[in-house]
């Protein structure tokens, strides 16, 4: 049994060096807590104490041996730990008490992208103080329905009673009245075709009378690299000035609709995760005119709609995960569907939206908890430059929105839809008929 306790001090951007180690300890403990809730796994000490049989006997559970219990313990073992490179060209498996060198010559990966600094399950046998690994896998994710919601790790100060009330209200509300979210990524505000598409999209919603609950716009918001020059600042500010003019032309879409602006990896700002909202001096045109309608969000950000929990993240994950993976799970000719599922499985099983080494994607140590995917949310909205897709994994809907400016693709997310799926749609830069979107 594990107990969650409040942090001793508030998080800081300038934290002590030990907080980097605490980041990994927190990730380790959260996944270990998840494994402890999984009936398929048992701790070796519990097995010995209760006299339970091994997995090959009557008890079908898998026995997890801690790293410190591997030495002097013959036979194939299953252990859990942190995959790290403590020496050049040599990997180790580490837990809070001990580490052990690994031989990965004959190891193969069982699903998901495994990288340095991944938390893995390793099966193998120890010879001469070295764990010869036969198989590596990411710890299996816990389904969204089974994840505990207490304590509230998702964020937003909502009590258990409030969540139950929101669940009851959601159940009573007719499906067509539970709202619609319009989700799109790579919304380049320096391109004319972007505003043609946005204008046609907004016009279609107004004509059809189906006013969305929210627009979730993910960056990058410029097709050109941003440099700290007066010309770049003027051009970037000009894009949000045009967006303000567009929103003013459709007052119906600003009175009861939230516009959530999520910065992309190439937008101006500190290049660490979580990325802060876009600076006020770049977006003040929008903020001043629509203070109650526009939400300048972080990346990633979290949205709660009734009792449903939604995570939004803009990052080119396919490229990062494929580039830094230690094992090639898929053939070069693998289908896009299989590649998408590998990415989804990696995020869910790792319990993290960006499980790449810190040297690849920097993280503010004290704010790493904002990147966690535990408990599993109901929906994860990804902004990746690869082709659009949606899939369900362990009860969580994962969706990649594609590129709005280039392809005109966007998704309609109906939280109350019976199928629990999203509708992929396209809008041209010429004209659009929205009647089919609300059938």
Domains and CATH numbers, the chain: 17-137 (2.40.50.140), 160-315+361-428 (3.60.21.50)
Are 155 and 369 contacting, i.e. CB atoms less than 8 angstroms apart?
no
Q: Which residue ranges of the chain lie beneath pLDDT 50?
A: 47-60, 432-439
Whose CA is closest to 83, among 58, 119, 124, 108? 119
Q: Which of the 8 DSSP states describes residue 230?
A: H
Beta bridge partners of 134: none
Specify the pLDDT at position 317.
96
Positive/negative CA dihedral, 48, 60, 80, 90 = positive
R_g over Cα of the chain = 24
Specify the pLDDT at position 73.
87
Specify the pLDDT at position 150.
74
Specify the pLDDT at position 88.
84
Are 247 and 204 contacting, i.e. CB atoms less than 8 angstroms apart?
no
Specify the pLDDT at position 424.
86
Compute the residue count for the chain.
Answer: 439
Specify the pLDDT at position 5.
78
């Amino acid at each position: 049994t594990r107990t969650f306790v409040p942090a001793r001090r508030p998080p800081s951007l300038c934290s002590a060096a030990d907080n980097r180690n605490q980041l990994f300890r927190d990730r380790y403990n959260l996944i270990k807590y998840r494994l402890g809730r999984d009936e398929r796994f048992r701790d070796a000490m519990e097995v010995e104490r209760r006299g339970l049989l091994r997995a090959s006997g009557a008890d079908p559970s898998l026995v997890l041996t801690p790293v410190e219990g591997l030495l002097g313990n013959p036979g194939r073992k299953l252990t859990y730990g942190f995959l790290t490179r403590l020496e050049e060209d040599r990997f180790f498996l580490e837990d809070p008490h001990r580490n052990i060198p690994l031989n990965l010559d004959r190891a193969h990966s069982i699903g998901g992208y495994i990288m340095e600094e991944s938390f893995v399950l390793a099966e193998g046998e120890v010879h001469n103080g070295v764990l010869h690994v036969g198989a590596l896998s990411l710890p299996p994710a816990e389904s969204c329905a089974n994840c505990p919601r207490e304590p509230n790790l998702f964020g937003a100060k909502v009590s258990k009673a409030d969540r139950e009330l929101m669940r009851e209200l959601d159940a009573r509300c007719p499906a067509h009245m539970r709202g619609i979210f319009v989700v799109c990524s790579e919304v380049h505000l320096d391109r004319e075709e972007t505003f043609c598409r946005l204008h046609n999209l907004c016009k279609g919603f107004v004509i059809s009378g189906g006013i969305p609950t929210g627009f979730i716009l993910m960056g990058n918001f410029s097709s050109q690299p941003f440099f700290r020059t007066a010309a770049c600042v003027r051009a970037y500010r000009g894009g949000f000035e045009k967006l303000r003019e567009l929103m003013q032309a459709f007052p119906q879409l600003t009175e009861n609709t939230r516009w959530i602006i999520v910065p992309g990896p190439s937008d101006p700002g500190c290049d660490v995760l979580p990325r802060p909202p876009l600076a006020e001096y770049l977006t003040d045109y929008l903020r001043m005119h629509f203070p109650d309608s526009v939400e300048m969000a972080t990346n990633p950000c979290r949205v709660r709609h009734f009792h449903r929990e939604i995570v939004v993240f803009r990052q080119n994950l396919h490229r990062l995960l494929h580039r830094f993976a230690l094992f090639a799970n898929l053939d070069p000719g693998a289908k896009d569907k299989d590649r998408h599922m590998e990415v989804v499985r990696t995020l869910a099983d790792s319990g993290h939206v960006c499980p790449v080494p810190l040297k690849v994607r920097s993280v503010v140590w004290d704010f790493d908890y904002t990147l966690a995917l535990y408990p599993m949310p109901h929906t994860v909205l990804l902004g990746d430059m690869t082709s659009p897709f949606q899939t369900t994994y362990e009860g969580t809907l994962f969706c990649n929105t594609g590129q709005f400016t280039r392809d005109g693709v966007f998704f309609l997310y109906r939280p109350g839809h019976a199928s629990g799926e999203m509708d992929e749609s396209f809008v041209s830069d010429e004209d659009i008929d929205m009647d089919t979107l609300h059938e």
